[in-house]
Amino acid sequence: MTTRFDAIIIGTGQAGPSLAARLSGAGMKVAIIERKFFGGTCVNTGCIPTKALVASAYAAHLARRAADYGVAIDGTVKVDMPRVKARKDEISGRSSRSVEQWLRGLANCTVYQGHARFESPDSIRVNDEVLSAERIFINVGGRALVPSMPGLDQIDFLTNSTMMDVDFLPQHLIVIGGSYIGLEFGQMYRRFGSAVTIIEKGQRLIAREDEDVSQGVLEILQNEDIGVELRAECIKVAKRGDQIAVQLDCASGMREVVGSHLLLAIGRIPNTDDLGLDQAGVAVDPRGYITVDDQLRTNVPGIWALGDCNGRGAFTHTSYNDHEIVADNLLNGDNRSVRDRIVAYGLFIDPPLGRIGMTDDEIRRSGRPALIGKRLMTRVGRAVEKGETQGFMKITVDAQTKEILGAAILGTGGDEAVHCLLDTMYAKAPYTVVQRAVHIHPTVSELLPTVLGELTPLDG
């Protein structure tokens, strides 16, 4: 027995539920399938719970600095880890329940819980039922990459998902991976009270960023006594009594870090290996990401892939935008494309990094004549007043067209302030629009016109 729908959506991450609402609202009969937790990575193991933890860590950090602001706290600042976890769980759980209730309340939408697998290009089996539709949308997200690392099978380790179950304070947390996830957890747990060491195989942290951004982030972490080991060319792990030893130099064996717990944060892989994609003929790349065109269509007519599983974006906001592109193209006859999207993301350490557009290195490689403006956060009044002066802001523009090419704001409020530049880029307006604007004082954003008024050539 096969149940027929107009559309089937696999997964309830950021793209799936909103797409279900759009399609069912247009009168389509929709089925949406969720294997485990409603809301996907962001709601359950990503953005929402981790930022709730970051907020608790920030509160602890600020409490320890209370004297800097003339505030006296009697006694030692202590972190109640079970309470921290309970707060995170409540915030995350509320979001997950909200997604589920929303979907179950949609007219024309049927919710299925179970593991979806393709049986053909237009049919899906979930539990003991077979569903079919002429339109199928894959929104299955990704998970932590667990590498083939010598000794890893002999120890217990954590990932970003299993970190959500931690309700205690690790004595010494070792983080393998010096990129976005690893840095956020590293600073977070240092502020909770753990000793922390971050291990990175490369020459510097967050290697996709410009060197000054990587160096700025390194200094922020080191200022909080977080250990950072770079150039770990050969990594092995081993049990050392009740501790975990991580060897960084396989040749000499002299470099090692010993700690109580190990977090793997070295990358993500898509959840595409158990969907039966071969039964539908859906193509994937060598890393398992579903191959899509600029409108998110797979090689099989009638099948789309949205969100982290398509390799065209690794963020909640890009996944949500995927649904907008697909829905507008289907329902409104638009011609939207992922090529219209400008790179934009944040690193949510404290202070945060807001990054948009091209890096300086990318601009240099493009050969475009460019201008750059840069300002330390020590020269931003709002940062000084808040006592949070680490970092800097920089903006690059095209010397000929005057369009903004990219920006990085590493500093308090940087994740918010960067958006006025991003919107200007989408408008394809010259940077002089921002330069001549009158911003509110005292804010971080008020210095953006100043930075744009002090441009100099970007050196080669």
Neighbouring C-beta atoms of residue 135, cutoff 10 Å: 19
CA torsion, ordered 247, 250, 287, 41, to nearest 10 deg: 10
How far is residue 134's CA from residue 412's CA, in Å, rounded to a whole number? 48
- Residue-level pLDDT at 249: 84
Digit-coded pLDDT (tens) for 270-323: 999 999 999 999 999 999 999 999 999 999 999 999 999 999 988 999 999 999
How far is residue 43's CA from residue 90's CA, in Å, rounded to a whole number? 11
Task: Find out whether 285 and 18 touch, Cβ atoms under 8 Å.
Answer: no
Helices 47-64 & 180-192 angle (0-180, nearest 10): 40
SS3 content of the chain, % helix, strand, coil (to 5): 35, 25, 40
| b/e sequence 195-229, b meaning 16+ C-beta within 10 Å | bbbbbbbeebbbeebbeebbebbbebbeeeebbbb
CA 331 to chain centre: 29
Task: Find out whether 140 and 319 touch, Cβ atoms under 8 Å.
Answer: no
CA angle, 297 then 301 then 306, to 5°: 30
- Residue-level pLDDT at 254: 77
3-state class (DSSP) for residue 417: helix
pTM: 0.96
How far is residue 113's CA from residue 129's CA, in Å, rounded to a whole number? 11
Catalytic residue among 61, 115, 261, 441: 441
Task: Tell me the percentage of the chain whose pLDDT exceeds 70.
Answer: 99
Which among 258, 315, 12 is positioned nearest to 138, based on CA atoms? Answer: 12
- Residue-level pLDDT at 253: 65
Task: Find out whether 308 and 323 touch, Cβ atoms under 8 Å.
Answer: no
Which regions of the chain are under pLDDT 50?
Answer: none
Radius of gyration of the chain (CA): 24
Which among 266, 317, 272, 267 is positioned nearest to 292, based on CA atoms? Answer: 272
Digit-coded pLDDT (tens) for 76-128: 999 999 999 999 999 999 999 999 999 999 999 999 999 999 999 999 999 99
- Is 441 a catalytic site residue? yes
